[in-house]
Structure 1
């Protein structure tokens, strides 16, 4: 790596430490939610051009017909565009994106990037709720700005708890993953916990810099309170059902208990995945 590249990365990291992350994200959130035609059309067109957004797969293909940038960003796909793997024992990708890391949770630690890891206990935010995932399996899927931004069920289950955990709002790209210790267990997040036919499953929606909100089907759009909030539910969801969505890009982390499932061998860090694609299967 060249000196200039290292310097750019250091500046990028330090800028995130210095900027008022939550205030900045709230300002962006207001802009993203604006229904003023001039504002929303300008932002949508600029974003669409910068990230080469493919609207041909969207239910609404006309960018200017979305009522706000948020509506554009969380756009639905055309029915049938994403097929959910039908095998009863399959685990599917919860989102369109790229695998940041995937594998086993070793001694309670989840691999983040070279030289970085974080504990499942800190990620979940509750020692009792996290205990069942010790030595289990995890997959971290990064949703880039150009991706479809709804998160779906990787396997059928009953949502039993949601746990909102306030935190920081660092970017969640590869540069920050390699340089911010415990990134995903430090950022604001919504932990969704499920009972399934093979035990407990978790899907953690991790917030990030300028993410203007996280929403789940059980809680609606999260209103950050600065406090940990635990809610109980009893909501059955099938594999492939929508679980939540991000208002700007971020990360979803899937957790399973030990010896309940295995990831397919072809999936590694940096593998591209699409929602509904088989990523693994049950082992019992």
Structure 2
């Protein structure tokens, strides 16, 4: 019961009024008494947080926390792609013709997620990863590989919560949620990092408009609940190295181009 209540505070609901109220409480000092119980309920590793837990003034400040330097090992091999986030791998594999992606009992096509067929085209017959970030996870996202931003755009005017309630009641939540897509040009082809918000308004924060992508660098975070989808352009020598339902850490190698 306690974990369910806390989940509403950081993933919010599909109702704009309820979400606004929860957001107001979660971002204020009124939520400070909830910080330690939240940490205990989700067994958050307080030793890896940038600051002692007493430093955080609100539940949202804890949710968007940074980690201590060195808390994550970044695989720097030139032929690997790393997980951009901490999370659970709820989908992984090769993208087949007319494939749909099963996400929380709903199916979505590549075109729907990317917005238009032209944007989706480079990733057909490529590879995909779907990461679910629970309330317990570190909620910053990092570049999965070295490269350069060739396209950055937002889609969706309405966001539904990325949780079971929102996915039951929302109208195709992954294709209507506010989301930011960062497309990268890399030595192995294009890679798209799709950040899906879980609020009625944008909950995705970017640090800058720089086009330079350095593997492992932090380039933004989610203010509230979230999901990240990774699309990789088809390459004959690429192989995923992690399986479905794997708990992954940011910086961990999740695939490689065999040279």
Specify the TM-score bucket, using the shorter chain as the normaliser: 0.7 to 0.9
Report the CA distance shift for 1:146/1:211 in structure 2 as closer, same or farther (over 3 A): farther
C-alpha displacement of 1:161: 2.3
* Rounded Cα–Cα distance in structure 1 between residues aligned with 2:166 and 2:243: 19
Deviation, structure 1 residue 237: 1.4
Partners of 2:21 and 2:167 lie apart in 1 by 25
Of residues 206-215 and 151-160 in structure 1, the stretch that sits farther from structure 2 once superposed is: 206-215
The answer to whether structure 1 residue 29 and structure 2 residue 29 are counterparts is no
Partner of 1:145: 135
Structure 1 equivalent of residue 46 of structure 2: 55
Shift in Å, 1:63: 1.9
Structure 1 residues 173, 271: closer, same or farther in 2, change over 3 A? Answer: farther
How big is the shift at 1:251? 0.7
Q: Give the deviation of 1:193 after TM superposition.
A: 1.2
Contact 2:156 2:175 in 1 (8 A): no
CA distance in 1, matches of 2:18, 2:177: 15
RMSD, aligned CA: 2.7
Structure 1 280/132 Cα, relative in aligned 2: closer, same or farther at 3 Å?
same
Is 1:257 the equivalent of 2:233? yes
Q: Say whether the 8 Å CA contact 2:146–2:186 is kept in structure 1.
A: yes
- With normalisation by structure 2, the TM-score equals 0.84
Matched, 1:88 2:82: no
Q: SS at 1:86's partner residue? A: coil
2:5 maps to which residue?
none
Q: Distance in 2 between matches of 1:244 and 1:234?
A: 12
| CA displacement 1:100-124 (0-9 Å, x = unmatched) | 1101112253422486421111111
Query: Retained in 2: the 8 A contact 1:91–1:281?
Result: yes
The answer to whether the 8 A contact 2:155-2:176 is kept is no
* Aligned residues between the structures: 247
Matched, 1:281 2:256: yes
Change in Cα spacing, 1:184 to 1:88, as seen in structure 2 (3 Å) is same
The equivalences for 1:173-184 within 5 A come to 173=163, 182-184=172-174
Aligned counterparts of 2:198 and 2:63: Cα–Cα separation in 1: 15
- Mapped to 1, the partners of 2:167 and 2:19 lie a distance apart of 20
1:155 to 140, 145, 154: 145
Describe the superposition over 1:31-74 as per-residue Cα deviations: whole angstroms up to 9, x where unpaired.
2322x3xx1312323322322222111111x2231233322111
Work out the CA distance in 2 between the residues paired with 1:239 and 1:177.
32
1:147-169 Cα offsets, whole Å, 9 max, x none, are 11111111112123221112544
- Distance in 2 of aligned mates of 1:155 and 1:211: 29
Match for 2:88 among 88, 91, 98? Answer: 98
The unaligned stretches of length 5 or more in structure 1 are 1-18, 219-232
Distance 1:48 1:212 in 2: 25
Unaligned regions of 5+ residues in structure 2, if any? 1-12
Displacement of 1:279? 0.5
